[in-house]
A and B are shown apart, each in its own frame.
Chain A
């Protein structure tokens, strides 16, 4: 409950998502979230940094930034789906579009996706709730 309050205070617009997460038993403890961030950073360096850059700032005209975008901070299922399905449709991100494709990275395990998303949601100036492996699994099974 304390964590919930904190999140709501920090990221008011996200309070609703946080509320929705309350029902999800798998919400991780602060300590677990820290591990996730460490693990997620490794996944990020290997699979994401070449395009989105180490500082999450992206590359003008080619790859979008991951700092404070609606995709990163918003609905978790939409975020998970971008990793599982990729995207090649000129998403408009803060008024700009980017010409590279976002690859489909469903080769990553549920836990790796949960970790990397938790990492990006808590880096580059972002602050948002963790993503859990069961949440990724749920999206993956919907896809099939």
Chain B
């Protein structure tokens, strides 16, 4: 009796030592839920719900104490950023507070500063030595007056290691048609949306009240991005684009419903300053493995696009709506996961009459800062059903991703406001 207990004790402390050097209270990894919170995971992984019903939970960050900040798309009781604490160390959040009376998506933590975005501004909050926000009502306004259309209005944010912050400004259009989403309407010549949207802008992370004049259009021709991350291995920005919709609905003579459900690819782009990913003039066809001229700009489904546009680093099936991107740098998961990308797919709406797809978290391995080309579904079952005909059938939809100090993976859901934590407990 004593021996197994002792062994367990040694194992636990070893485990804590190896994987959890900075967490103070929480020594044991938390117990996972009996059904792994309803998720299907690779063997050796388990999951638990750490918080529930907090609102439309978008991006999140984890402090080194293991506490969470979660950005809500819409404030709940005038709180748009939720702060969750685990007081008794069981891994489940048991104290909730909040601040920031604005909805939004973007949240990022770097060097003791919390960055958060509304749909047209970016703020920063100084954190104290416990990684808590003391100036809750007086954040610094870093960036203001960003273009906010009705579509693709969220602003995702990430920092590099040289004091810059990158902001996605989504195109307020599907494919820059003269009449948006109207069958047969041609594309606008020299799409004017690209002047102030449809790209990633770079600003200084410590300068107040910046707007377009103070930043640079870092990369353009990107329809809309929600998931983005900085790759520390090759010191480069990666983003997941939401590709265009409605190829069949708008151009029925060129695309049937089946093709339209699959095309175009959802693309992972590695972005360097000055890159142009080609929206709205081209889209990426993952079957022909080429940039194809958009039908709004004279394309016929085959004609190749101009060579000036970059190719994706990796291409996924159409319409899955990637909302979270995270490079895994932890030690808890097995070796193959190190430095690879997790991508949270919110799930499609534009595959009708086919069933909707997505609603899962994917893993794509990387080597030396480049994807190997493979990818697999890592966590599935968020929707609670295999047959999602309309996105409203999905009980949960993955959105944000974050890595805990012990290497656990956190996933938010913006339907019910559930926060999941995924752990590796295999050997």
Number of interface residues of A (CB under 8 A): 25
- Contact residue among B150, B184, B350, B392 (Cβ-Cβ distance under 8 Å from A99): B150
Query: B182 an interface residue at 8 Å Cβ cutoff?
Result: yes
- Chain B interface size band reads 20 to 34
Query: B181 an interface residue at 8 Å Cβ cutoff?
Result: yes
A contact residues around B392 at 8 Å (CB): 53, 57-60
Cβ contact within 8 Å between A104 and B179: yes
Excluding A46-B249, A53-B389, A99-B151, 5 further A-B contacts by CB distance (< 8 Å) are A50-B246, A61-B73, A88-B150, A99-B153, A104-B182
Cβ contact within 8 Å between B352 and A50: yes
Cβ contact within 8 Å between B349 and A62: yes
A-B contact pairs, 16 of them (CB 8 A): A45-B353, A46-B249, A47-B249, A49-B352, A49-B353, A50-B248, A54-B390, A55-B389, A59-B349, A60-B392, A60-B415, A63-B349, A90-B150, A100-B150, A101-B151, A103-B180
Given the contacts A50-B350, A60-B391, A103 and B150 also touching, CB distance less than 8 Å? no
Given the contacts A55-B389, A57-B392, A101 and B353 also touching, CB distance less than 8 Å? no
Query: B252 an interface residue at 8 Å Cβ cutoff?
Result: yes
Interface string of A30-66 (1 = CB under 8 A from B): 0000000000000001110110011101111111000
A32 to B389, CA, bound (A): 31
Cβ contact within 8 Å between A53 and B184: no
- Contact residue among B151, B183, B415 (Cβ-Cβ distance under 8 Å from A100): B151
B contact residues around A54 at 8 Å (CB): 352-353, 389-390
Task: Give the nearest-CB partner of B391 in chain A.
Answer: A59
A contact residues around B152 at 8 Å (CB): 99
Query: A107 an interface residue at 8 Å Cβ cutoff?
Result: yes
Interface string of B347-371 (1 = CB under 8 A from A): 0011011000000000000000000
Query: A125 an interface residue at 8 Å Cβ cutoff?
Result: no
Given the contacts A46-B252, A53-B390, A60-B391, A101 and B180 also touching, CB distance less than 8 Å? yes
Min CB gap A140→B, angstroms: 17
B contact residues around A60 at 8 Å (CB): 391-392, 415
Nearest 7 A/B pairs, CB to CB: A53-B390, A103-B182, A59-B349, A103-B181, A99-B150, A50-B249, A57-B392
Min CB gap B16→A, angstroms: 41
A contact residues around B153 at 8 Å (CB): 99
Query: A86 an interface residue at 8 Å Cβ cutoff?
Result: yes
A88 to B181, CA, bound (A): 11
Given the contacts A49-B352, A50-B246, A59 and B390 also touching, CB distance less than 8 Å? yes
Interface string of A5-40 (1 = CB under 8 A from B): 000000000000000000000000000000000000
Q: Count of A-B contacts with CB under 8 A?
A: 64
A49 to B351, CA, bound (A): 10
B contact residues around A104 at 8 Å (CB): 179, 182
B contact residues around A63 at 8 Å (CB): 349
Interface string of B414-425 (1 = CB under 8 A from A): 010000000000
B contact residues around A58 at 8 Å (CB): 392
* Interface set, chain B 229-283, CB cutoff 8 A to A: 245-246, 248-249, 252
Min CB gap A118→B, angstroms: 21
Binding site for B on A (CB under 8 A): 45-47, 49-50, 53-55, 57-63, 86, 88, 90, 99-101, 103-105, 107
B contact residues around A101 at 8 Å (CB): 150-151, 180-181
B contact residues around A61 at 8 Å (CB): 73
Min CB gap A24→B, angstroms: 30
Cβ contact within 8 Å between B390 and A86: no
Task: Give the nearest-CB partner of B250 in chain A.
Answer: A103
A99 to B148, CA, bound (A): 11
B contact residues around A59 at 8 Å (CB): 349, 390-392
Cβ contact within 8 Å between B181 and A57: no
A63 to B52, CA, bound (A): 26
A contact residues around B182 at 8 Å (CB): 86, 103-105
A contact residues around B245 at 8 Å (CB): 50
Task: Give the nearest-CB partner of B56 in chain A.
Answer: A61
Interface string of B177-203 (1 = CB under 8 A from A): 001111110000000000000000000
A52 to B181, CA, bound (A): 14
Cβ contact within 8 Å between A103 and B183: yes
Min CB gap A103→B, angstroms: 4
Min CB gap B373→A, angstroms: 31
Task: Give the nearest-CB partner of B246 in chain A.
Answer: A50
Interface string of B309-346 (1 = CB under 8 A from A): 00000000000000000000000000000000000000
B contact residues around A53 at 8 Å (CB): 349, 352, 389-390, 392
B contact residues around A88 at 8 Å (CB): 150, 180
A contact residues around B150 at 8 Å (CB): 88, 90, 99-101
Task: Give the nearest-CB partner of B73 in chain A.
Answer: A61
A45 to B391, CA, bound (A): 17
A contact residues around B181 at 8 Å (CB): 100-101, 103
